[in-house]
Structure 1
Amino acid sequence: MVKILSSLSAKVATIENTGVDMRVLMAKGIIAAAALVVSTSAWCWGADAHRVTGAIAWEYLSEETREKTRNLLQVMGEESLAEAGTWADRIRGNPEYDWAAPLHYINLSATWSGYRAARDCPEQGCVLQAIHHYRARLADGRLSERERGEALLFLTHFVEDLHQPMHAGLREDRGGNDVAVTFFGEETNLHALWDTQLPERFIDDWQVYAAQQPANITGSEQADWVASTPIEWLAESHGFAHNNAYVLRRELGQEYLEANRPVVEQRLRQGGVRLAAVIERALSKAD
């Protein structure tokens, strides 16, 4: 069986020529493959981390791209790019989107040896392949506004997810979902801790926090981050997962927070700047 997402781009042209709705094809064929996979119990940054990243991204979009983005968000019923980043989690209870569950993450070995799709991205897809796929769909002016709007929502979420280090965690523990820990005495797992509990410790009001972040990003940082590739984002997350997130102790608290808050903050800023660049480039191609 060919890989789901790597084959989708080739299928789009055939589907468009025959007038068949790609969503119908996915529902009938692709979902069956995805259903064979055991999903993880947690897939993404928490809602506020997604909102922060989207709000940062908005600040780095040109006015022209903001207008195009607003139009697509309106088609999808989304009020802002910040809220749009939570959409791919809000649809998780919808059976029509069950096939998207594996696209939020990629599980790797402990040693970074580069990315090879045939080795690292399973048949049902992964976050890196999903970013490539939905970036191409957002840039495809032949698609309907609703198709491109959905691509924008998926792309936003997956770029943000790739910046959460545990989305590049170990296969053996499902990205930390199977690593039980306590954080300030509360029982949780390592993935959930990075999704929500670490950000919650220093983000009281996500809008206020997000508005403060551009002042903390230098011009050279922005240039370096924009020039990087999704594979490099993956390598960064993998490094942070194994150099920071995974630790031997299981009772975590203030020391762990102080060591890793700078990592979380950096990933939120990087995700925002890079998301803006991805959207900017895709929508400029769609003209």
Structure 2
Amino acid sequence: MKLKYIALLFFALLIVTPTLANVKPAPEWGPTGHRVVGKIADNYLKGSTKRAIQKLLNRQSLAFVSTYGDEIKSDDRYRKFGTWHYVNMEANQSYEDSKKNPKGDAVVGAEYCVSVLKDKNATDDDKAFYLKLLIHIIGDIHQPMHAGLEADKGGNDIDVKWMGKSTNLHRIWDSDMINGYDMSYTELASNADALSKEQIKSIEAGTITDWVNETHTLANAIYKDVKTGDNLGYKYAYNNLSVARSQIQKGGIRLARLLNDIF
């Protein structure tokens, strides 16, 4: 009887294991990218902003809570926020002219978070929750494939290889390329490009919608360099890693500007 039980368990594992291996993770900047955005933003916060945020987050850092938006995806209570991580449009289309997702998108989500944080009647618990979401969403909208094409789900349906291993274009920009650089989020943040005051002001300018449109323009250019089945690797990283790092830095600077405005 015992041997029969073991045989059945072994057979079940043979069935389940390959199935789990083929499950694709949900789209997101990887944890490293989000944490770099939070760490960089922290460097641009005013003292009063830092104090207000520390109070709401119980002294947890922006980097620490930056992945919260992805951590709650497995909880059915937060399923309604799933569409707040991206904006999918047609090629060369502006957000203003695009067909809007009736369930909401990253622009709708970010603006709602801002409205809660500015609401004097909102509870501290609500403000803490939407602050965590805002930190995450601003990171997401600077990942080019989060403002990609609706037809391929922001690159998720473009199957390619990365260093010989199966992946997709979205995941390359989420995590494959960043993680392949093999630096911690603190190392990436501390090695962000040195910028002049004029460059910082230029990055800070605009609205959430403007930033999404800018990212979408970048996504259109990225699509032109890749086709299904490509085997991408060191050359692709050499040509594009600086773009990813620049987007992460912009996300951090813009997140700080939003938070300074709010608080």
TM-score band, normalised by shorter chain? 0.7 to 0.9
Q: For residues 11-22 of structure 1, what are the structure 2 equivalents within 5 Å? A: none
Give the structure 2 partner of residue 65 of structure 1: 49
Could you tell me how far 1:203 is from its partner in structure 2? Answer: 4.5
CA RMSD in angstroms, aligned pairs only: 1.6
Aligned residues: 238
Kindly provide the CA deviation profile for residues 45-75 of structure 1, in whole angstroms up to 9, marking residues without a partner as x: 000100000000000001111010111111x
Instruction: Extract unaligned runs of 5+ from structure 2.
Output: 1-23
- Structure-1 separation of matches of 2:195 and 2:140: 20
For 1:149, the equivalent position in structure 2 comes to: 128
**For each residue in 1:81-106, what CA deviation from the matched residue of structure 2 results, as whole angstroms up to 9, or x when unmatched?**
10111001111111100111111001
Secondary structure of the structure 1 residue equivalent to 2:74: coil
Q: What TM-score comes out, normalization by structure 2 length?
A: 0.86
Residue type of the partner of 1:156?
A: I
1:95 matches 2:76: yes
Name the CA distance, whole Å, in 1 between partners of 2:121 and 2:159: 47
Give 2:44's aligned amino acid.
Answer: Y
2:15 aligns with none
1:268 and 2:252 aligned = no
Residue type of the alignment partner of 1:217 = L
- Equivalent residue for 2:235, pick from 241, 245, 255: 255
> Partner of 2:65 in structure 1?
84
Helix, strand or coil for the counterpart of 2:166? strand
Q: Deviations over 1:21-55 (max 9, x none)?
A: xxxxxxxxxxxxxxxxxxx9533100010000000
Structure showing greater radius of gyration is 2
Offset, 1:146: 0.5
Q: Structure 2 CA distance, aligned partners of 1:208 and 1:48?
A: 10
Inter-partner Cα distance in structure 2 for 1:153 and 1:186: 33
Out of 242-251 and 100-109, give the one that drifted further.
242-251
CA distance in 1, matches of 2:226, 2:145: 16
Residue number in structure 2 paired with 1:161: 140
* CA apart distance, 1:244: 2.1
Equivalent in the alignment of 1:280: 260
Percent of aligned positions with the same letter in both sequences?
30
Q: Is residue 237 from structure 1 mapped to residue 212 from structure 2 by the alignment?
A: no
Identify the residue that residue 21 of structure 1 maps to in structure 2. Answer: none
**For 1:216 and 1:244, how far apart are their aligned partners in 2?**
25
Match of 1:184 in 2: 163
Aligned partner of residue 277 in structure 1, secondary structure:
helix
Which residue of structure 2 lines up, in the alignment, with residue 126 of structure 1? 105
Question: Per the alignment, do residues 218 and 203 of structure 1 end up closer, same or farther by CA in structure 2, a change over 3 Å counting?
Answer: farther
Measure the CA separation in 2 of the matches of 1:129 and 1:259. 32
